[in-house]
Amino acid sequence: MRVLVTGGGGFLGSELVRQCLARGWDVASISRGRYPELEAQGVTCFQADLGREITEDEGSPLRRAARGRDVVFHTAAKAGIWGARDEFWSANVEATRNVADAALREGVPRLVHTSSPSACFTGDSEVMADETLPLAEDFLAHYPESKAVAERLVLAMTGGAMAVTVQRPHLIFGPGDPHLLPRIIERGRKGRLKRVGDGQNQVTLCYVENAAAAQLQAAERLEPGAPHAGKAYFIGQAQPVRLWEWIDELFAALDVPPIRSSISARAAHGIGAVCEVLWKLLRLGGEPPMTRFVAGQLSTSHSYTMEPAARDFGYQELVAPDVAMQRTLAWLRDAGC
């Protein structure tokens, strides 16, 4: 199998590359930056700003990267709760359009696109939702809006010579995590984390090895007319966790001071709205300490069933939740988090 991974140097992308290489596949990667560690593993690397690629040009890096590939895994994206809309649009919408167009022009038969459950988030709780949950129409941040637009765009391209499927891994964690857990732990050590809401909200987590495995499992069975062609699937652990209990256990295992204060979901939402206005009007740097999107994510349930993914393309976890947590804690301790 000859595959292309966009964003092969990223958190999910690098794990996807590792698993592809372990299968003996020929792997190429395309990213904005250079990743010598991928080249050292035998990965053919290309550099490009995917949001600005000219796909009509046969000699463009993206066209050359996609040429002769059996499948494209599109994981490259800009994530975040704050930032300029144009940046999210270029990295998530235009880049997806360009990747899909290049794959079509080069005759790639399969495309697996990485989206996000936040593309469906309206601010209300989602409990064991499945693939029938619609994409949101109104958004609390630029990131989920851009991912929803990209998802609609790429799914519209299926049905012809290229089969497309979309995956929405939720709260990816594991060794090498550059964002989620290190940021939570840092805020906890500084005493800057409050429990938002009643603390009973349940969420689905996704260990990084399982997120990558789901993409391989989907790709191997993907073809026009396959049950998962033209559809989007939530990916994560079969059993959700109570978010704040999980954070409490994480902190206890790492000797992080426990969370002792809380705030209502309504108050957090109001503070988030005020912060957003101030950051925009005063053009303050960095991220606001609270936004409406973050308040909603921390106080509502967002859990998903894995039954559709198991039914349609045989999704199975490679790593059990307890083992995933043990490996993650070991890495966090070694990293000094």
Query: How do 126-129 and 302-304 pair as beta strands?
Result: parallel
> In the structure encoding, which two tokens stand for residue 290, read together?
């609270």
Cα(14)–Cα(176) distance, rounded to whole angstroms? 10
- Residue whose C-alpha is closest to residue 192's, from 77, 116, 289: 289
Q: Which residue has the tokens 């012809």?
A: 160
Cα(67)–Cα(300) distance, rounded to whole angstroms? 43
Cα(217)–Cα(191) distance, rounded to whole angstroms? 41
The kind and range of the H/E element at 247 are helix 243-253
Report whether 79 contacts 43 (CB < 8 A): no
At how many degrees (to 10) do helices 180-189 and 321-334 cross?
Answer: 60
Widest Cα–Cα separation across the chain: 58
Q: Provide the annotated active-site residues.
A: 143
Counting runs of H as helices and runs of E as strands, what totals does the chain give? 13, 15
Q: What is the DSSP letter of 305?
A: -
> In the structure encoding, which two tokens stand for residue 82, read together?
């704050």
Cα(215)–Cα(75) distance, rounded to whole angstroms? 10
Report whether 81 contacts 55 (CB < 8 A): no
- Residue whose C-alpha is closest to residue 209's, from 7, 11, 43: 11
The kind and range of the H/E element at 146 are helix 142-155
At residue 114, the 3 state secondary structure works out as strand
